[in-house]
Amino acid sequence: MNYQKVKKKKEFRKILSTGKRAYGAALTVVYLPAEETAMAVCVGKKYGKSVQRNRVKRLLREAFRSRADTLTRPCAFLLIPRIAGEYSYEAFQKDLGRIFKREKLADA
């Protein structure tokens, strides 16, 4: 499934202020119903140097891409990882699947 990127500061603020939050072991997902599926990753400097931050972003994007085809309705998503010593694709993918099912965003 193709999805758009959330790029504008106005869109970020709208999702953060009015969106619903769902928590998992490895990440927090903030989502808001939208016309098209859109996604952004929020990884600040507290997650490490640029190499580590970019790796976390790549892992989150790939985990979302693999789970996006199960979505039943379009939403705008912000993915915020929890600070950890190590980050893994499997943990992010598992959390996204659980959150999507629990929030009734995806097929069971």
Domain-wise residue ranges, the chain = 4-102
Q: Rounded to two decimals, what is the model's pTM?
A: 0.91
pLDDT for residue 1 is more than 80: no
Cα 73 to its chain centre, rounded Å, is: 15
Q: Would you place residue 90 in the very low, low, confident or very high pLDDT band (cuts 50, 70, 90)? A: very high
Residue 106's pLDDT is: 87
Nearest CA to 12 out of 41, 55, 53, 44 is that of 41
Distance CA 43, CA 98 (A): 21
Whether 100 has a pLDDT exceeding 80, the answer reads yes
Residue spans of alpha helices (H) in 1-108: 9-18, 50-67, 89-102
Cβ neighbours of residue 16 closer than 8 Å, sequence gap 6 or more: 30, 78
Q: pLDDT of 10-67, one tens digit each?
A: 999 999 999 999 999 999 999 999 999 999 999 999 999 999 999 999 999 999 999 9
How many angstroms separate the Cα of 72 from the Cα of each of 3, 82, 90?
13, 26, 22
CATH of domain 4-102: 3.30.230.10
